[in-house]
Structure 1
Amino acid sequence: MSRVDVRTSVVATAGHVDHGKSSLVRALTGRDPDRYEEEKRRGLTIDLGYAWTDVPGAGTVAFVDVPGHERFVPTMLAGVGPVPVVVFVVAADGGWMPQSAEHLAALDALDVRHGLLVVTRADLADPAPTRRAALAELRRTSLGDVPAVACSVLTGEGLDAVRTALASVLSTVPAPDPTAPVRFWVDRSFSVTGAGTVVTGTLAAGTLAVGDELVVGGRTVHVRGVQSLERPVERVAGVARVAVNLRGVDRRDVRRGDALLTPGTHVRTDVVDVRGDVGAGAGELPAELVVHLGSAAVPARVRPLGGALARLQLRTELPLVVGDRLLLRDPARHEVLGSAAVLDVTPPALRRRGAAAARAADLADVTGPDLASELRRRHLVPGAALRAMGVPVSGTPVVGDWYADPAWWAAQRARVPEVVRAHRAANPLHPGPTLEHVRRTLRLPDLDVVTALVTDPLQVRDGRVVERIDDLPPAVERAVAAVLADLAASPFAAPDVERLRDLHLGRSELAAAVRAGRLERVADGLVLAPGYRERAVAALRAVPQPFSLSEARKALGTSRRVAVPLLEALDAAGATVRDPDDRRRLR
């Protein structure tokens, strides 16, 4: 097996002359792209055909031969969707036809920019008039000015010129990113005895390799084998025609229009907001149309938002990213309406009066995947979600993998002290609100986000947001130091009322010491050194489980006055469990 990347140029043959296209592919490759007996008998391509050959100056070139008849336009679109180059075929004796115009409109909507015009059957009519007319039509589309060659499959005249022109076109096509996420659109699915499910398609970008884990339709599958042009390979990079042997999915559960995806990439969605490029505004679109992307064709309902903006409700989910270009087609009129650029793959619901107009205003400046734009609209987003939406992520997250709009983040940071003050006013005996209280009040998704928003003079202590008190009055500081010295010798011998009175540590002084983090409150009037819970649990591990109050008191080296509230504090913290017989055990 080959252990190197296999690169193949892939082109689609489009146009209205079925027998002309297939004959051209057959003449160039020596292979018949028509697979069905009916196609051979009628001279009519009804499904996608495939063939390949070596072209001097271009290497291996694979052809996807698509149907030309108007009845099979959806099949044609499934073939050209993932392909970056087109050979547009028009017959000299037939000239420009309505089907030619529909194929060209589809290519323009797909923004295909690389192509070659081939005028076939030049032995039957002067190709010059057809060439001029076709070039004029192509010039008005995304293809622009393309090279044109006339040929005759019957006599062989011009076939070498076709190969030369094709090599020249392919040399100008930018190489796709081999490290890009895979979105491999399936155009065939079948079973092979002893191998299982096999799917074929055009790999537009990224790399497929034996052993890869992929996702299709929400199901995880593994790549058992890869072939490119009927040759087994270990890995293949786009653009290439590929057959993939899958483990983990039945042939009946994967079909044309499905896509193999790199896990964690693309968003499977049935609602998207788009900007249409359809000549008229989105309000002129029919209420129902068909969306084409890759090899998929999905019916959709249209809700105009204003101007060229619209929301599409897809009948089935598609794996999309921001910036995808969708082809819009009206099947009732057999008409390509134009294209639409995907602006949002996870749009908000539109429930209130005026929501559509407000949404149009939100999207007015969105032109493609842009981190700053996404953050302005979403405020706070995980980097993984941004990457799945196709939005390039840069800069430093505010915490973990969370990215935030700077203005929104500053506003939330300013609100935290307000939440703390309001909580202290309503709960004067509490040192401050819990992190969870702040999270709910500010409607934040994660406690780590709350922690990242806390700045001086606030701090997080014991799961609460409290005011930072760095300095105690000198007299209080000396008294607290004395208590800590006592506790250093006997960690659980909490100072009694007399000792606290001698040190002039009343209720307010103890509260200040607790707020400053110098002491921890066990119960009213009972304090120990910070970290007393952890030290108590460590001491109790040496006691046979379960243990009584007396056994705990001895292990801790303290009195009943301290042991009872200390164990109750451990119960409340979930460190210990109290049995019905009042014995306890460590959790």
Structure 2
Amino acid sequence: MRGLSSKHYTIGMAGHIDHGKTTLTKALTGVDTDRLKEEKERQISIELGYAPLKMDDGSLLSIIDVPGHERFIRQMIAGVSGIDLVILVVAADEGVMPQTKEHLEIVKFLQIQKGIIAITKKDKVEDDLLDLVREEIMDELEGSVFHHAPVVFLDSTKNIGIDDLKETLLGQLEDIQHKQESGDFRLPIDQVFTIKGQGTVVRGTIMEGMVHTDDELQILPSGIPVKARQLQVHNKMVDKAKAGQRVAVNLPNISAEDINRGDVLVLSQTYETTDTIDVSLKFIKKLQYPIKQRSVLKVHIGTAEVMGKIIFFDRNEYQDSNEEVLCQLRLEEEVTAKRGDKFIVRRPTPVETVGGGWVIQAKGSKYKFGEDTIRTLQKVKEGSPEERVTQAFSKNKLLESKDLQEETGLTKMELDSLLEVGKLIKIKDKFYTGSENVKATLHQVTSYIHAFHEANPLKAGVAKAEILSNFSNSVPKNLVEHVLQSLQDDGKIMRDESLLYDASFEPHYPPSWKKRMEQVVSGIEGDGLTPKPFEQYGREAGLPDKELRDLQHYLIRQEKVYELDEKHLVSVKIIESSVSRLKKKYPQELELSAVKEELGLSRKYLIPYMELLDAIQITKREDSVRYWV
């Protein structure tokens, strides 16, 4: 499949109950997605089923078999939220059924643009009637994304039409815009479970960005920090997972009870939580009952399902007008959302899907009823230059001028205006980024440096290369370098050769090891010019190896000790005292015998001592005699 081998797509298998979605999924992938006992007994899918589909070119697609029964529409919406293409399964002997139509509405509201019609159970209909079946189904699908979709006839139990479906699938995927791998990582969670011996695992489809093993993450809306200990894509261990992939993330040190379906796993602080969203909303053509002001609706966004009230600003109720409505959803619980996110609304009783749309502003406020508010929301929907720039940089943190203009539709003059007011930042005369991106990166970088100092109080600073490496997966190098230079220019961080450190930081003993480290230093000073091996002091003080190594580097860097040889350290004060003593007695030159007599050193310490004086340029050797420098 040309160009798809490095990309990842999620395919939804939707349709009415008992039209053969699970059987078709198994024919395509070899995986039976009905995994629960009650699903086997009742022969219906209750939970989302997932299966990998390996294509001929080696690329791997994720097939989601979403439940078709009306009672399980909630799980279906959770599955569809990450889907790139839908295979609509329609049984040849039954045609388009009520649940099929509801699935179609959901696909429309989530703005999934590509679809394939899989007409299953062709063996149930005479061959000469198949064209009639196709026509009847296409008539029912008129006006939907499937009206011009390719059609494939199948008999999944006999493997008839499966190859045709795969070939059709390849052709459709080539035109799909791929999810943003370069954006900030976001994984709406649709499954949470515990594996014995491993701990908590969450699963979902990555909406944007990328995640790596050992990434420090956050669960929203709770804000709980977590770490990605292991990643799996379709039961295979991987080091990283990208947008569009179905991934399982092992999260240590957190209970499954602390995570819910609908929570979102994120990498950065770009994402916000909110309980008030301004939206552009469309309703289905024929509502059973009008939607009244402040009606309670069930809102499905990402994989979250929350109750909320609809707030109109230009009417007191909505009945069949088929127009877009700018309004607000006030939710009972916070969700993670940003501009552009799609959602579905359902009436809780009588249960029905009533509409869907997209978020025009993730953090809404309370507005007055009237046309002024509608005009304001219309401007928000259309997006000011600043909002369009913000949206562009939510996908890519750095853009060249040409790409930024293409992404936002703004002129160079409009971009220059944003530069003047500080909403747009230019980097290295080539790239642009938003002020919020700079602000967020500055916060991340300073937090990282502070955390490094806290974890490594003995070290003078953190290497610039280490900072760049740490953010290489989430922030462009040029942006990090820009922020580091800005912090240096403002005097907030200092540089010592390759090390960077907070301007207010001074290396110091960690409080928990201070007394033992002082014991080591006292021991070195007490033993004068005949110290024991440095590791021995550490063992006697009960210092772990890491802390002892850090202490050694600290003492040398702070010029508190010299390295007498590779195993022994000697106090700088002791060296200075001994040199003063020798200069007083031998003001012109030194010989080994004289130093040995004066300081009482054995050859074991005498030779390293003299070589140290040469190395630190206190003495200069000529044959067997040394002179003071």
- Aligned partner of 1:270: which letter? D
Q: Say whether 1:256 aligns with 2:261.
A: yes
How does 1:70-469 map onto structure 2 within 5 Å? 70-126=70-126, 127-217=130-220, 218-278=223-283, 284-286=290-292, 287-306=295-314, 308-350=325-367, 354-372=368-386, 395-396=418-419, 398=421
- Aligned partner of 1:367: which letter? K
Report the equivalent of 1:11.
Answer: 11
The 3-state SS of whatever aligns with 1:249 is: coil
Change (3 A) 1:83 1:147: same
What does the per-residue CA deviation read over 1:33-87, in whole Å, with 9 as the maximum and x for residues that have no partner?
A: 0111221122111111111231225722221111111111111111111111111
- Aligned partner of 2:177: which letter? P
Q: Aligned partners of 2:207 and 2:138: how far apart in 1?
A: 27
Point out the more displaced range, 329-338 or 22-31.
Answer: 329-338
Q: Aligned partners of 1:229 and 1:60: how far apart in 2?
A: 9
- Aligned partner of 1:241: which letter? R
Q: Is the 8 A contact 1:113 1:144 kept in 2?
A: no
Q: Aligned partners of 1:128 and 1:39: how far apart in 2?
A: 34
What does the per-residue CA deviation read over 1:221-278, in whole Å, with 9 as the maximum and x for residues that have no partner?
A: 1111111111111111121110011134321111211111232122200011112122
Point out the more displaced range, 260-269 or 122-131.
Answer: 122-131
Q: Aligned partners of 1:281 and 1:99: how far apart in 2?
A: 15
Give the superposition deviation at 1:355. 4.8
- Aligned partner of 2:244: which letter? V
Give the superposition deviation at 1:288. 1.2
Q: Is the 8 A contact 1:330 1:337 kept in 2?
A: yes
Q: Is the 8 A contact 1:96 1:130 kept in 2?
A: no
- Aligned partner of 1:97: which letter? M
Q: Aligned partners of 1:280 and 1:314: how far apart in 2?
A: 25
Q: Is the 8 A contact 1:68 1:76 kept in 2?
A: yes
Give the superposition deviation at 1:192. 1.7
Change (3 A) 1:116 1:347: same
Report the equivalent of 1:56.
Answer: 56
Q: Is the 8 A contact 2:117 2:146 kept in 1?
A: no
Point out the more displaced range, 202-211 or 56-65.
Answer: 56-65
- Aligned partner of 1:365: which letter? K
The 3-state SS of whatever aligns with 2:112 is: coil
Q: Aligned partners of 1:373 and 1:7: how far apart in 2?
A: 29
Change (3 A) 1:14 1:85: same
- Aligned partner of 2:336: which letter? P
Q: Is the 8 A contact 1:220 1:248 kept in 2?
A: no
Give the superposition deviation at 1:9. 2.5
Q: Aligned partners of 2:327 and 2:286: how far apart in 1?
A: 9
Q: Is the 8 A contact 1:269 1:317 kept in 2?
A: yes
Give the superposition deviation at 1:303. 1.1
Change (3 A) 1:373 1:175: closer
Change (3 A) 1:361 1:55: same
- Aligned partner of 1:358: which letter? D
Q: What TM-score, normalized by structure 1, do the two folds share?
A: 0.61
Give the superposition deviation at 1:399. 5.6
What does the per-residue CA deviation read over 1:412-452, in whole Å, with 9 as the maximum and x for residues that have no partner?
A: xxxxxxxxxxxxxxxxxxxxxxxxxxxxxxxxxxxxxxxxx
Give the superposition deviation at 1:281. 13
The 3-state SS of whatever aligns with 1:200 is: strand
Give the superposition deviation at 1:10. 1.6
Q: Aligned partners of 2:328 and 2:212: how far apart in 1?
A: 37
Change (3 A) 1:372 1:398: closer
- Aligned partner of 2:239: which letter? E
The 3-state SS of whatever aligns with 1:108 is: helix
Q: Aligned partners of 1:302 and 1:252: how far apart in 2?
A: 30
The 3-state SS of whatever aligns with 1:123 is: helix
- Aligned partner of 2:122: which letter? A
The 3-state SS of whatever aligns with 1:24 is: helix
The 3-state SS of whatever aligns with 1:315 is: strand
Q: Is the 8 A contact 1:18 1:67 kept in 2?
A: no
- Aligned partner of 2:340: which letter? G
What does the per-residue CA deviation read over 1:483-514, in whole Å, with 9 as the maximum and x for residues that have no partner?
A: xxxxxxxxxxxxxxxxxxxxxxxxxxxxxxxx
- Aligned partner of 2:375: which letter? A
Q: Aligned partners of 1:232 and 1:41: how far apart in 2?
A: 32
- Aligned partner of 1:331: which letter? P
Q: Aligned partners of 2:59 and 2:283: how far apart in 1?
A: 38
Point out the more displaced range, 141-150 or 274-283.
Answer: 274-283
Q: Aligned partners of 1:330 and 1:102: how far apart in 2?
A: 13
Q: Is the 8 A contact 2:93 2:124 kept in 1?
A: yes
Give the superposition deviation at 1:357. 4.0
Give the superposition deviation at 1:280. 7.8
Give the superposition deviation at 1:220. 1.5
How does 1:40-51 map onto structure 2 within 5 Å? 40-51=40-51
Q: Aligned partners of 2:388 and 2:162: how far apart in 1?
A: 50
Q: Aligned partners of 1:80 and 1:142: how far apart in 2?
A: 15
Q: Aligned partners of 1:202 and 1:24: how far apart in 2?
A: 21
- Aligned partner of 2:259: which letter? V
Q: Is the 8 A contact 2:314 2:374 kept in 1?
A: yes
What does the per-residue CA deviation read over 1:296-348, in whole Å, with 9 as the maximum and x for residues that have no partner?
A: 11111011012622121111111111122221222323322221222222223
Change (3 A) 1:69 1:330: same
Identity of aligned residues (%): 30
Report the equivalent of 1:585.
Answer: none
The 3-state SS of whatever aligns with 1:243 is: strand
Q: Is the 8 A contact 1:323 1:369 kept in 2?
A: no
Give the superposition deviation at 1:163. 1.4
The 3-state SS of whatever aligns with 1:358 is: helix
Change (3 A) 1:35 1:281: closer
Report the equivalent of 1:422.
Answer: none
Q: Aligned partners of 2:170 and 2:91: how far apart in 1?
A: 22
- Aligned partner of 1:96: which letter? V
Q: Aligned partners of 1:95 and 1:400: how far apart in 2?
A: 54
Change (3 A) 1:52 1:280: closer
Q: Is the 8 A contact 2:14 2:88 kept in 1?
A: yes
